[in-house]
Structure 1
Amino acid sequence: MTERAQAKERKDGRENAVIHPLTIGSVNLANNLILGPMAGVSDLPFRLLCHEQGAGLVCTEMVSAKAIAYKNRNTKELLKVSDEERPVSLQIFGSDPVIMAEQARQIEDLHWDILDINMGCPVPKVFNNGDGSALLRNPLLAGQIIEAVAGAIHKPLTVKIRLGVSPDTINAVEMAHIAQESGAAAVAVHGRTRDQFYMGAADWEQIARVKQAVSIPVIGNGDIKSPADVQAMYEQTGVDAYMIARAAQGNPWIFRQILHFYQEGEEPVKPGPQEMCDTMLRQARMMCDLKGEYLGIREMRKQAAWYTAGYPRSARLRGMVNDVETYEDLEQLFRAYFGLS
């Protein structure tokens, strides 16, 4: 065997072990790279961009089951799914098993493919209401919710958890067991406690313990920023899939970059000014179409800050973006910033 053939064999073996198709319940994913759910970030336009860049699954912003029940006007937008971005995981949250199950049943005819229950959100307004990561304090109730929702729908159900509420109450293994026994088809584990929010390093060793404890697919989440991080998480945890959230903010190309690394065995090339500008403007257009120009432009301001973080004169650009009111002005500003005609 030639040296080149040996190198290809090593590359293919690494790719098959780390990056590969994944089945969750009845849903087949082309690969095991997942865009995590992020409130105010993973809306339809951003999910579509990440899907086009190679994400095997994209997740919606979390939606309140009670808001669905009350037909909250903002909830309709959060529930929008396009066939072009599928497969899609729709995430809901709540702490009442009856409401969660009934609303899951009510929305099952929408075009999402997987339903996810949020049991990891750390923000006070969610936690203090007994939802999100607060359910880590009540495994019995968590199990009742999972069982009720799993029994109400035919599509696969997954659960997203954290390690626990605090370092003294880590119970991710217990929660994963409960999820599996209650009907979940997979569990995603963020390697931080609720008290950490997003500070400090994710504890991958705890994720590894979850992987060793259950037979359903385990999705690792936390501190995945590059192909090297994917490789390191696989070697340390053996997880079945990788959930990327904050590292995708302003960087939908991260999925393409990781796939390129494993398919070609070389470091990916970063997008150039033309692609960067075109992508930002495309996202802005989609946001304006979906939400109206007034809201779309204002929400694009934070996106522009993420896209250009670390670029020359990015602070000045952020200040100028805050004064933009129309798409035309935004396009002119972005093209001038990147030196494009």
Structure 2
Amino acid sequence: MFKVGKIEFQNPILLAPMEDVTSIAFRKLCKELGADIVYTEFVNSDGLIRDNKKTHDKLKITNDERPVGIQIYGGEINAMREAAKIAEQENPEIIDINAGCWVKKVANRGAGAGLLKDPPYMQKMAKEIVESVKIPVTVKTRLGWDENSIEIIEVAKRLEDVGVKALTIHCRTRVQGHDGEPAWHWIPKIKEAVSIPVVVNGGILSAQDALKAKEITNADGFMVARGAIYHPWIFREIKEIFEKGFVSHFVDVEERISTALRHLKYELEFKEGKRAIIPFRKYYSGYLRGLYGASKIKQKIMLLEEYQPIEDLLFSYKEELLKHQEFEE
């Protein structure tokens, strides 16, 4: 059971915080497709306290995406404490501390997974943040810095002791990044050591992966990251496989195209023109994955900078694919 503050779910499926991915538009789409809890992009504490507009914009949330968490990151306790206070003003359901980002520019500065090098310091940071805000504070982290320094049991206990309300564990080390198989077998050990909810993360790229993770971990929640970028329908598919043991609904051509355009329209609600359309290009590979002739369409669509030509191209492509299917049948 995942119970944090006013949030209560049985086996919730969570959308992970991801830089340049979990915009308001993408969060809204994932909620519609079955995500129970969503998170903002991770927000830099220094940018917040310096009143950087681009950083502040990442705090914006809407009522139709709730419950939502704001994740903050940084390596300096005072900055993180003040950033948490600023984030709280947006009324999220959760403030989440990023103690898992593995990229060098973050971790090597003592932020993200860099906090794993000093568990007492991480604990002190969490304590300061918990005491500075009135809403629940959670932490997303990894097993350890490397395979020789896996101290997640100690870390989990330290964080629970200072009032952290839930943990999300990416079951790899910082050195691994996204490489190698996730060590899901650590989750039952962590659950045995603490009484707060423990969410499993890492390696959940399909509904089948989630079912396997559930069987191995009996986690209190299941967080999806990259799997949602390539296949945002993963949330409803995980729910179905948890309930029935299988996925019955195949995402056809029409749904792929209509969802891509719906997503792009959402992005355009919050950003104008090229500011929405150019960053959106990273999603086409997922929406068109496995479709006949997709590579040629992607080459064309990458050159388009307005919505209508994109819609026209995708509608034309859809009709071509449907005719091809009829011919094959």
> TM-score normalized by structure 1?
0.90
Q: How does 1:274-293 map to 2 (within 5 A)?
A: 274-293=254-273
Greater shift in the superposed pair: 259-268 or 205-214: 259-268
* Mapped partners of 2:109, 2:296: distance in 1: 40
Indicate yes or no: 2:165 matched with 1:185. Answer: yes
Q: How does 1:1-341 map to 2 (within 5 A)?
A: 22-29=2-9, 32-339=12-319
Greater shift in the superposed pair: 97-106 or 177-186: 97-106
* Mapped partners of 2:164, 2:258: distance in 1: 40
3-state SS in 2 of match to 1:280: helix
Query: Once the two structures are superposed, what CA deviation does each residue of 1:22-43 show, in whole Å capped at 9, x if it has no partner?
Result: 3113323475111111111111
Q: Which amino acid aligns with 1:23?
A: K
Check whether the contact 2:277–2:306 (CA below 8 A) recurs between aligned residues: yes
* Mapped partners of 1:258, 1:119: distance in 2: 26
Check whether the contact 1:36–1:245 (CA below 8 A) recurs between aligned residues: yes
Query: Once the two structures are superposed, what CA deviation does each residue of 1:115-159 show, in whole Å capped at 9, x if it has no partner?
Result: 100000011111122110000001111001100000011111100
Query: Once the two structures are superposed, what CA deviation does each residue of 1:185-235 show, in whole Å capped at 9, x if it has no partner?
Result: 000000111111111111111233212211100000111133332222122
User: Structure 1 residue 324: deviation in Å?
Assistant: 0.6
Check whether the contact 1:288–1:294 (CA below 8 A) recurs between aligned residues: no
Check whether the contact 2:211–2:238 (CA below 8 A) recurs between aligned residues: no
* Mapped partners of 2:28, 2:288: distance in 1: 20
3-state SS in 1 of match to 2:121: helix
Query: Once the two structures are superposed, what CA deviation does each residue of 1:246-297 show, in whole Å capped at 9, x if it has no partner?
Result: 1111322111112123334542312222221111111111212212111211
3-state SS in 2 of match to 1:160: strand
Greater shift in the superposed pair: 54-63 or 301-310: 301-310
Check whether the contact 2:72–2:83 (CA below 8 A) recurs between aligned residues: no
Query: Once the two structures are superposed, what CA deviation does each residue of 1:147-179 show, in whole Å capped at 9, x if it has no partner?
Result: 000001111110000111111111111111111
Check whether the contact 1:33–1:57 (CA below 8 A) recurs between aligned residues: yes
User: Structure 1 residue 78: deviation in Å?
Assistant: 0.8
Q: Which amino acid aligns with 1:333?
A: L
* Mapped partners of 2:254, 2:4: distance in 1: 37
3-state SS in 1 of match to 2:314: helix
3-state SS in 2 of match to 1:117: strand
* Mapped partners of 1:107, 1:243: distance in 2: 22
What's the counterpart of residue 16 of structure 1? none
Q: Which amino acid aligns with 1:322?
A: M
Q: Which amino acid aligns with 2:74?
A: G
> TM-score normalized by structure 2?
0.93
RMSD over aligned Cα atoms: 1.7
* Mapped partners of 2:283, 2:149: distance in 1: 36
3-state SS in 1 of match to 2:196: coil
* Mapped partners of 2:200, 2:242: distance in 1: 18
Q: Percent identity?
A: 34
Aligned length: 321
User: Structure 1 residue 108: deviation in Å?
Assistant: 1.2
* Mapped partners of 1:48, 1:171: distance in 2: 36
Q: Which amino acid aligns with 1:282?
A: R
* Mapped partners of 1:74, 1:328: distance in 2: 28
What's the counterpart of residue 17 of structure 1? none
* Mapped partners of 1:81, 1:211: distance in 2: 31
3-state SS in 2 of match to 1:167: coil
Give ranges in structure 2 of 5+ residues lacking alignment: 323-329
In the TM superposition, structure 1's runs of 4+ consecutive aligned residues that sit over 3 Å from their partners are 262-266
Q: Which amino acid aligns with 2:101?
A: C
Check whether the contact 1:186–1:216 (CA below 8 A) recurs between aligned residues: yes
Q: Which amino acid aligns with 2:131?
A: G
3-state SS in 2 of match to 1:201: coil
